[in-house]
């Protein structure tokens, strides 16, 4: 088995994978990272670890200690100009986040037509991948919860409260939830227009807010559990 890690801003997502597919996936909050030691202890034999880390050197160092105790070396990917069916059109390809690069690789492996690759986590990213596998560019905006938190933090009378989507909200919590969802969906749909006219174009959506966003999107959408892990699985033989 190979251990794949997607280390984001808030959570570490892990998966066990071999030639036959996935044999387990899970997540650990970075605020409770020591709990990953217990996860590692219960995984059984692991041949290799490959990961994408955007949480910084400190988190990578702690994970390196946990992995070394299991006899594993920490292998962290870096974005590159071309590979695994994807051409990276970023002005400075190495500056593209490793998670976005892995998600693009995962998207290309799952769908060979044009796609808008969306990850809805702490931040939301929406990246344009054309039918030839060329990454054209993309946007980054605050994620759904970050939008709600910013309103609670930076305004005097708007709470951080759970609300629900309403067509015409008549309650403050619902107004906040609906407004933030509209902002996310609107940004995604505007970006999708860049590929909408192409045959088989689809929005590939993953991340913690995917379940909230997918029903509201007025474009073809496919929810994928974790595109970063899918991309890492495709990279194993080429790293």
pLDDT for residue 238: 63
CA distance 134 to 87: 5
The mean predicted confidence, pLDDT, of the chain is: 94
pLDDT less than 50: residues of the chain: none
3-state secondary structure of 232: helix
pLDDT for residue 153: 80
pLDDT for residue 17: 94
2-76 architecture in CATH? Answer: 2-Layer Sandwich (3.30)
Q: What is the pLDDT of residues 56-98, one digit of tens each?
A: 999 999 999 999 999 999 999 999 999 999 999 999 999 999 9
3-state secondary structure of 9: coil
CB atoms within 10 A of CB 1: 15
pLDDT for residue 50: 97
Relative to beta strand 221-223, strand 202-206 is: parallel
Calculate the dihedral angle through the C-alpha atoms of 59, 61, 67, 69, rounding to the nearest 10 degrees: -130
CATH 3.30.420.40 at 112-226, yes or no: yes
Tally of CA atoms within 13 A in the half-sphere of 99 that contains its CB: 25
Write a three-state SS string for 23-52: EEEEEEEHHHCCHHHHHHHCCCCCCEEEEE
Whether 2-76 and 112-226 share one fold: the answer is yes
Written as six digits, the tokens of 141 are 């905006």
Domain residue spans of the chain: 2-76, 112-226
Report the catalytic residues: 99
Put simply, whether the predicted model's pTM sits higher than 0.75 gets the answer yes
| Bridge partners, 11 (sequence order) | 29
CA distance 35 to 187: 36
């Amino acid at each position: 088995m190979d251990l794949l890690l997607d280390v984001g801003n808030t959570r570490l997502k892990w998966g066990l994978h071999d030639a036959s597919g996935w044999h387990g996936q899970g997540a650990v909050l970075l605020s409770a990272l020591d709990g990953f030691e217990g996860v590692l202890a219960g995984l059984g034999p692991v041949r290799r670890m490959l990961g994408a880390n955007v949480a910084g050197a400190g988190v990578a160092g702690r994970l390196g200690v946990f992995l070394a105790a299991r006899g594993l070396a920490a292998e962290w990917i870096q974005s590159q100009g071309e590979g695994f069916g994807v051409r990276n059109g970023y002005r400075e390809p190495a500056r593209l986040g490793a998670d976005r690069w892995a998600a693009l690789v995962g998207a290309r492996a799952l769908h060979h037509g044009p796609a808008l690759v969306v990850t809805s986590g702490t931040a939301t990213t929406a990246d344009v991948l054309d039918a030839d596998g060329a990454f054209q560019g993309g946007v980054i905006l605050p994620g759904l919860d970050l939008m709600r938190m910013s309103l609670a933090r930076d305004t005097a009378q708007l709470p951080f409260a759970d609300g629900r989507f309403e067509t015409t909200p008549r309650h403050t919590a619902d107004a906040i939830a609906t407004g933030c969802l509209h902002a996310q969906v609107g940004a995604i749909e505007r970006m999708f227009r860049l590929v909408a006219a192409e045959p088989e174009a689809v929005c590939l959506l993953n991340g913690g807010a995917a379940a909230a966003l997918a029903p509201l999107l007025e474009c073809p959408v496919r929810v994928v559990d974790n595109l970063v892990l899918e991309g890492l699985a495709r990279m194993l033989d080429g790293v």
